[in-house]
Chain A
Amino acid sequence: MNVILFLVFAAFSVFCGINLVVQTHPIASALSLIGVMGSLAVLYLLLGGEFIAAAQVIVYAGAIMVLFVFVIMLLNAGAESATFQVSRFVKYFGALLLVAFLGLISFIIQGALPRSGDVIFGAFQGGTALEVGRKLFTTYLLPFEVTSVLILIAIVGAIVLARKEV
């Protein structure tokens, strides 16, 4: 069950990632990115990160992607026109090189972690909102507060940048 769930959602996320890169229309890319985020949320759940999985769906797939889609609609961004032409050979050879590179990385990771542990759903219970919140408000209290200041600066910066007359 673990293996099947992992393979299905890993394949879906890789498919959506490739789709993100090869699609020319930004809306298609945005929908692919939502697919990646949704399937990654399932993988987070398999790894025991309940809180992060929920935050992934709410914050990433919800808030951030709505912002992206909103901007794409607002700017009426059409399909990307090919500003520079690459030959067919370069395209296919590049894809082949990318696949070879990924194979090499997989080989290296597999070789570096020959006896790594196995991931079993439910074996790690420390990712609940309770545990995350306790850690966040004790050990990581200062980074948490700094983050709130960062968010405030980002809000002010976004408003200043997107004002009528800059």
Chain B
Amino acid sequence: MQNAVPLSWYLILSAILFALGVAGFIFRRNIITVFMSIELMLNAVNLSFLTFSYQFKQVDGHIYSFFVMVVAAAEAAVGLAIILTVFKNRATLMIDEVSSMKY
């Protein structure tokens, strides 16, 4: 058995996780699960960053992935506060029922 993983396997794993995140984002109705799907997509992109960072032997990909983490933290804080406010005003977490801007 070979003792090294081809680089493309990491990229394929990243693509699979990103596609799963997109599927969850589209098909889930619970706003918190939708939010967690976004986090899954961010994680998948981070894996791509680190893979390319390994390929080019540069540390820049690690920095980008660090910034993605920071932005995800900020996004989680504000997004969950928005979810709290929506729940306080509407008493629901289903995105189908929060549709007053739709028509």
A→B interface (CB under 8 Å):
1-3, 6, 10, 13-14, 17-18, 20-21, 26, 29-30, 33, 36-37, 40, 43-44, 46-49, 51-52, 55-56, 59-60, 63-64, 67-68, 71-72, 74-75, 77, 80-81, 83-84, 98, 101-102, 105-106, 109-110, 113, 116-120, 123-124, 126-127, 131-132, 135-136, 140, 143, 147, 150-151, 153-155, 157-159, 161-162, 166
> How distant is A137 from chain B, measured CB to nearest CB, in Å?
11
Cβ of B23 and Cβ of A98 under 8 Å apart?
yes
User: CA separation between A72 and B8, bound complex, in Å?
Assistant: 37
**B9 at interface by CB-CB < 8 Å:** yes
20 more CB-based (< 8 A) A-B contacts, given A26-B32, A49-B50, A162-B81: A2-B4, A14-B20, A17-B40, A20-B37, A30-B36, A40-B47, A43-B47, A47-B10, A48-B54, A49-B62, A56-B69, A64-B39, A67-B77, A68-B35, A77-B32, A80-B94, A98-B23, A105-B19, A118-B6, A132-B63
Cβ of B54 and Cβ of A119 under 8 Å apart?
yes
Contacts of B70 in A (CB 8 A): 147, 150-151
Out of B12, B21, B81, name the residue touching A161 (CB < 8 Å).
B81
**B27 at interface by CB-CB < 8 Å:** yes
Residues of chain B in range 29-78 having any CB-CB distance to chain A below 8 Å: 29-30, 32-33, 35-37, 39-40, 43, 46-47, 50-51, 53-55, 57-60, 62-63, 65-67, 69-78
User: CA separation between A64 and B96, bound complex, in Å?
Assistant: 25
Cβ of A10 and Cβ of B9 under 8 Å apart?
yes
Contacts of A150 in B (CB 8 A): 70-71, 74
